[in-house]
Amino acid sequence: MNVAIMQPYIFPYLGYFQLIHSVDTFVFYDDVNFIKRGWINRNQILVGLEAILFTVPLKKASQNKLINEIDTAISEKWVLQFYKTIEQNYKNAPFFNETFGILKKVFEKGHTNISSLAIESILQISNYLQLDTQFEVSSLEYPHTASLPKAERLIAICKEKGSDTYINPSGGKKLYQKNTFKEEGITLSFIENELLPYSQFGNQFVIGLSMLDVLMFNSVEATNKLISNYKLN
């Protein structure tokens, strides 16, 4: 059984869903410290020919707080403006209606916490794409492991889940050693993302945008093909 453990991001990029695709169980790591200027509450969309950042407003965000302790500062005005921005820039995309429907479902749930809102965005997209990965939340399923150091906690969660393989983003190569996991009977693998180009209104491809952009221009079948392009090592 393969497991990945990752902070919840709002409408994350394709590589995040490649990580989800690569495992049997994906654990949302919501009871770790919030990362300012990271991807928890922001991502990029296509505006004209450029990647432009959108940011979900937060209340008293601090790296001294856990992700699930931070509330959003979303107003009806902000949501309507965000809808307008998406519509203005993607209304002519081939799968605008389907993707805009997903977007609205996420915000209509009324989540006031950035963790639950980000998780909702990922669950809605995963459901749309019919991904069969099981999802868990660390603060709900594994709160008793919260005091453990980083690698030890990941190993503890894997053991409790009965997993013999842990898959981590390639950026974790500087943080985690394969021998540390091997000594505990767990294989540590890293995912190497391949972000293949797709047509964006026929313009030069802008890589690494939010999954919203991918879905605007690709069918479910085509999106799942893009998701499946990765390697594990």
Cα 178 to Cα 28: distance, rounded to the nearest angstrom: 22
Segments in the chain below pLDDT 70:
none
**For 90, phi and psi rounded to 5 degrees?**
-130, 5
Quote the number of domains for the chain. 1
pLDDT value of residue 121: 98
Contacts of 130 (CB under 8 A, 6+ apart): 220
pLDDT value of residue 127: 98
Average pLDDT, the chain: 96
* Per-residue pLDDT tens digits for 190-205: 999 999 999 999 889 9
| Residue labelled with tokens 């995963």 | 126
Cα 27 to Cα 43: distance, rounded to the nearest angstrom: 21
- CB of 116 within 8 A of CB of 107? no
- Overall residue count recorded for the chain in this entry: 233
pLDDT value of residue 202: 86
Q: How far is CA 168 from CA 3, 22, 72, 200, 205, in A?
A: 9, 10, 28, 29, 27
The closest alpha carbon to 30, from 113, 91, 131, belongs to 113
- CB of 46 within 8 A of CB of 213? yes
pLDDT value of residue 178: 96
* Amino acid letter, residue 196: L
* Per-residue pLDDT tens digits for 127-142: 999 999 999 999 999 9
Cα 194 to Cα 13: distance, rounded to the nearest angstrom: 12
pLDDT value of residue 41: 98
* Per-residue pLDDT tens digits for 140-160: 999 999 999 999 999 999 999
Handedness of CA 157, 162, 164, 169 (dihedral sign): negative
Cα 103 to Cα 95: distance, rounded to the nearest angstrom: 12
* Amino acid letter, residue 212: L
pLDDT value of residue 188: 98
Tokens of 118: 């980000």
* Per-residue pLDDT tens digits for 84-101: 999 999 999 999 999 999
Cα 68 to Cα 40: distance, rounded to the nearest angstrom: 11
Residues spanned by the domain of 178: 2-232
